[in-house]
Amino acid sequence: MDSTLAAVSLIGLCVIAGGVGVAFAKALPPKGFVRLADIAPQIHQDMRYAGPDNFIGRPVPGYAAPRCWLRTEAAQALAAAQEEAAREGVRLVVYDCYRPPAATKAFIAWSQDEADQRMKEAYYPRVEKAKLFDLGYIAKASTHTTGCAVDLAFEGLDFGTPFDLFDDKSTTADPSIKGDARHNRDRLVALMTKHGFENLPNEWWHFTYKGVSDPKPVDFEVE
Catalytic residue among 128, 203, 221, 223: 203
Residue 51, number of CB atoms within 10 A of its CB: 13
Smallest Cα–Cα separation from 98: which of 174, 33, 185? 33
Q: Which residues contact 195 (CB under 8 A, 6 or more apart)?
A: 77, 78, 80, 81, 84
- Annotate 139-201 with DSSP letters as a single string: -SS-GGGGT-EEEEEETT---SS-TT--SGGGSTT-TT--HHHHHHHHHHHHHHHHTTEEE-T
Q: Is 114 a catalytic residue?
A: no
Distance set, CA 84 to CA 6, 87, 188, 191, 200 (Å): 54, 5, 11, 8, 22
CA angle 100, 124, 217 (to 5 degrees): 20
Q: Are 64 and 96 in contact (CB under 8 A)?
A: no
Q: Which sequence positions are flagged as catalytic?
A: 203
